[in-house]
Chains A and B, each alone.
Chain A
Amino acid sequence: MNEVLTLLKPRIWPLKNRGLSKANGNSGASFLLLGAFGLLFWCGIFAVSWRVLIYFKGIEDIGDILGYKLLSMMLVISFALLLFSSILTSLSKLYLSRDLLLVHSMPVSSYKIFIARWIDSTIDSAWMVIIYTLPVFISYGIVYQTGVFYYVNTMISMMCLAVIASAISTLMVMAAVIFIPASRMKSVFILMGILFFVVIYLAIRLSQPELLVDPEVFDSVMVYITSLQTPSSPFLPSSWVYDSIRSALSGSISNSLFFTALSLSFAGMIVSAMIFLSDAIYFKGYSKTQNAPVRLFKKNVASNRIFNFLPGPVKSFTVKEIKTFLRDQTQWTQIFLIAALVVIYVYNFKVLPLEKSPIKTVYLQNLFSFLNMGLALFVLTAVTARFAYPAVSLEREAFWLVKTSPLSIRTFLWIKFFIYYLPLLILTEILIVATNLLLQVTPFMMILSTLTVFFIVPGIVAMGVGLGAAYPDFKAENPTQTITSFGGLVYMIACAGYIGLVVIIEAGPVYNLFMAGIRNKIITFPAWIWIVGSFTLVLVLSLLAVSMPMRFGERRLSELLT
């Protein structure tokens, strides 16, 4: 056991060494800022769940059923999240971490290394799910007026769920690594996970769950209630946790204890089985992991000749960027996810029940189109955060090549900009045009939204690339997660501010122009000045949004090099 604790020390000691690090000058401020946002989000979840439960409690006959159904759904989703996140974390911690070479050269049994890594992986994969489901459980406790037993029991049950999910995932990973090397396995699991998520997401959305809260569509109240009471599988660990919490909520302590004991005993059994198995197969799998990864596709997508028109260094970086992007499976698997999001996004507009609204449809259609512009730009902000923001950090330790090449930092950043700008522009325009077509907006609104987006996309991409360059992290194990850093927060705030400002500036003039068109009214000269002035202001803002972050990124990155 001592050795397991020693193996966990490199994880614990750095916490007390925080003050020694000279690399993170603004880590204190960013920690506070991120902490504040985290707390705000936590309080938000609490407020929403508390409000919803109070509302449910107030509905006669089916209030409790709704409350329990919500609890059951939340536990199934939490279990699925824990399973998926554990698969990826355990794969990294047990087979792919860079320090494994060092640890395996030491005189420690492989099963002890396994236990230490598994504990580490379980904490990493579960802490967020546990912390952010806590406000929901607290609100259940308050609304159902429970005692201390409920809270203690819920915490034990949730911990059991996390341990069980982590053990099941780790067993799957251990078995799979014997057949497929871990380096390839990560891509396979990510792809499978994303495809699974996409299918589930599409299935849930296309089944129109909004109808569930509209009892009118059911033949009778009984059918409605029966559909809510559909039981979940008794073999699912999340069902035992659900039964335990539900019993605690209704005051049946003995019943609750039975289901908690069931979770605890299963957790104990599966962890023991896993440790037993790890002694036999973990090292074999780790040894296999060290085989050189084989390329999945050998055909060159980005041929050098296509970019012959570009100057030498620019061409070489462009080709490198495209090739590395396409060969990194973690990048392109996420394209499936984005495609699914686009489908759902567009589908949501198709099923908008505008005809049921008491407000005039043509007015609503165009109002939604205008607001949709802002929404699509927020989607763009998120996609840019995932792809363009980490673009500079993705150079990792190979950044010395940029430093020593005959290419200025400015050109380097502009190459990054253009590589992401074109696909992101196409994505946003698809969102805008497709939703406008579904909303059947006026030609004026169609032109206005496509043009506005055309001018705003460069600003958002430039903020992503520029701020990503200003706050790079070349040592990050996973550079795509750099968006959760201080720079990422600055980027998110800047984008939200920019989009909000553009929407506010355009709202008045667009309303004037639109209403004048509908009512065949003439626009007065002062109104014209206001309209032209507003659109010019948006244009100036867009130019600044491109030039300022790119310059800021260039300056900070250059300072970092000197």
Chain B
Amino acid sequence: MIELKDLTKKYGDFEAVNELNLSVKKGEVFGFIGPNGAGKTTTIKIMGGILEPTTGTVTIAGISMQEEPEKAKSKIGFIPDRPYLYEKLTGMEFLRFTADLYGVSEEAFQATAFKILKDFSLADWADELIESYSHGMKQRLIMSAALLHNPEVIIVDEPMVGLDPAGIIMVKNLFKTLAEQGVTIFMSTHTLKVAEDICDRIGVIHKGSLIAMGTTTELQREANVTEADLERVFLNLTSETPYPQN
């Protein structure tokens, strides 16, 4: 469903992403972890069609992002880490704006918009200006907008930032349900517990390169740690010197 081939992004001399290759199956929840500045957001932006790669290709649901960007983007629900929302629009207006751009029909919009807002506990705020929303509410609104057109792929950068514990549980359950329905989820996160709980596979990126990939058990093996949580695996894989075991 998602395929990255030899993906490289250079900023001048700096190589933010280096020859990245990976593929994610339909209905899989893929976690993308790595230290700050490792290249996670750059990769996600290239996948979302916001950034042009220096070399390499991105394919979403069999459609090349470079060759048919609009078609590929229509398959994606994109949730950035620090989303910009039009503060002077109401929540409902923002959903309509998104629906219009994704070509959601009026009937489908009427049928789903309010339900989605209700699912994300935003129904009472539908006609309030976004400027009056809290950070968590804005995060929930951008998620609602991303789901409005029934995407086949969800690309999400740091989904839990700003959410309260109830919100985190809700998003975790939502992602699990969507994956069961065949939606592919590509998620970058620093919240390793979340990755451990819901991801089928996890990729570790460090200095622009994918240094490890697999299930939690496979990563433990790769990091030469036994019976350890993902946090220790992560530290062992990304630190210059091996992290001591307790």
Please determine whether A13 and B84 come into contact, CB atoms closer than 8 angstroms.
no
Query: Are A21 and B80 in touch, CB under 8 angstroms?
Result: no
Chain B CB within 10 A, most for which of A102, A110, A475: A102
Task: Check if A211 is an interface residue, CB within 8 A of chain B.
Answer: no
> Closest chain B residue to A283 by CB distance?
B52
Binds B, one of A149-157, A286-294, A398-406, A457-465: A286-294
Q: Which of A17, A23, A101, A108 meets B101, CB within 8 Å? A: A108
Count, A-B residue pairs, CB within 8 A:
89
Q: Is there a chain A Cβ closer than 8 Å to B12's Cβ? A: yes
Q: Quick check: B84 and A102 within 8 Å, CB to CB? A: yes
A97 — nearest CB in chain B belongs to which residue?
B84
What residue of chain B has the Cβ atom nearest to residue A5's Cβ? B100
Instruction: Give chain B interface residues in 110-131, CB to chain A under 8 Å.
Output: 127-129, 131
Name the interface residues of A195-250: CB closer than 8 Å to any CB of B: none
Shortest distance between the CB of A14 and any CB in chain B (Å): 3
Interface residue? A3 (CB, 8 A): yes
Mark A1-35 against chain B: 1 for CB-CB distance below 8 A, else 0. Answer: 01100110110011001001111000000000000
Residues of B within 8 A of A9 (CB): 93, 97, 100
A284–B128 alpha-carbon span in the complex (Å): 37
Task: Given A99-B84, A106-B98, A107-B71, verify A13-B49 contact (CB < 8 Å).
Answer: no
A292 and B97 contacting across the interface, CB-CB below 8 Å: no
Q: Is the CB of B101 within 8 A of A13?
A: no
Near B by CB (< 8 A), chain A positions 357-415 give none
The residues in B between 74 and 109 inclusive whose CB is less than 8 angstroms from any CB of A are 74, 76, 78, 80, 83-90, 93, 97-98, 100-103
Are A107 and B102 touching (Cβ within 8 A)?
A: yes
- The smallest beta-carbon distance between A103 and chain B, in angstroms, is 8
How many residues in B have their beta carbons less than 8 Å from beta carbons of A?
37
Q: Chain B's nearest CB lies how many Å from the CB of A230? A: 49
Asked if B132 lies at the interface with its beta carbon under 8 angstroms from chain A, I say yes
Residue in A3, A14, A108 whose CB lies within 8 Å of B86: A14
Q: Is the Cβ of A287 less than 8 Å from the Cβ of B52?
A: yes
Asked if B51 is at the interface of the complex by the 8 Å CB criterion, the answer is yes
Name the CB-closest residue of A to B73: A107
CB atoms of A105 and B100 under 8 A apart: no
Bound-state CA distance A20–B93 (Å) is 13
Partner of A105, one of B12, B48, B52, B128: B48
Q: With an 8 A cutoff between CB atoms, is A98 at the interface?
A: yes
Contact B86 A105 (CB under 8 A): no
Q: Given A6-B97, A9-B97, A284-B52, is A106 in contact with B102 using a C-beta cutoff of 8 Å?
A: yes
Quote the shortest CB–CB distance from A549 to chain B (angstroms): 28
Interchain CB contact under 8 A, B51 and A290: yes
Instruction: Say how far B17's CB is from chain A's closest CB, in angstroms.
Output: 13
A109 CB–B CB distance under 8 Å: yes
Measured in the bound complex, the distance between the Cα atoms of B80 and A475 in whole Å is 20
If A13-B89, A20-B90 touch, does A105 touch B78 (CB 8 Å cutoff)? yes
- A104: Cβ under 8 A from any B Cβ: yes
Interface centre among A283, A284, A287, A292 (most CB of B within 10 A): A287
Closest chain B residue to A21 by CB distance? Answer: B129
Asked if B101 and A106 make an inter-chain contact with CB atoms under 8 angstroms apart, the answer reads yes
Q: Which residues from B are CB-within-8-Å of A108? A: 70, 73, 101
CB distance from A188 to the nearest CB of B (A): 17
CB interface residues, A 77-128, toward B, < 8 Å: 98-99, 101-102, 104-110
Q: Does B45 touch A at the CB level, under 8 Å?
A: yes
**When the two chains form their complex, are residues B73 and A106 in contact, meaning their CB atoms are under 8 A apart?**
yes
Chain B residue, CB-CB nearest to A291: B11
Q: Quick check: A101 and B80 within 8 Å, CB to CB?
A: yes
Given the known inter-chain contacts A17-B90, A290-B45, please indicate yes or no for A10 contacting B97, CB distance below 8 A. yes
CA distance A105 to B76 in the complex (A): 9
Q: How far is the CB of A8 from chain B (nearest CB, A)?
A: 10
What sequence of 0s and 1s flags, for each residue 288-311 of chain A, a beta carbon within 8 Å of any chain B beta carbon?
Answer: 001110100000000000000000
B50 at the interface (CB under 8 A from A): yes
Q: Which residues of B contact A17 (CB under 8 A)?
A: 88-90, 93, 129
- Specify which chain A residues have a CB less than 8 angstroms from the CB of B12 in the assembled complex: 291, 294
List chain A residues, Cβ under 8 A from B132: 22
Are A107 and B74 touching (Cβ within 8 A)?
yes
Distance between A289 CB and nearest chain B CB, rounded to angstroms? 10
**Contact partners of B69 in chain A: CB under 8 A:** 107, 109-110
B38 CB, min distance to chain A CBs, angstroms: 15
* Chain B residue with Cβ nearest A103: B101
How far, in Å, is A501 (CB) from chain B's closest CB?
40
B63 to chain A, nearest CB (A): 11
The contact of B80 among A102, A287, A290, by CB within 8 Å, is A102
Q: Which 6 A-B pairs have the closest CB atoms?
A: A14-B88, A107-B74, A287-B52, A107-B73, A105-B78, A6-B100
Instruction: Name B's A-contacting residues (CB within 8 A).
Output: 11-12, 45, 48-52, 69-74, 76, 78, 80, 83-90, 93, 97-98, 100-103, 127-129, 131-132
- A20-B90, A104-B49, A107-B74 provided; 4 other pairs, C-beta below 8 A? A105-B78, A105-B80, A107-B103, A292-B11
Q: What are 13 A-B residue pairs whose CB atoms fall within 8 Å in the complex? A: A3-B101, A13-B89, A20-B128, A21-B131, A22-B132, A101-B83, A104-B50, A106-B73, A106-B98, A107-B102, A110-B69, A290-B45, A290-B50
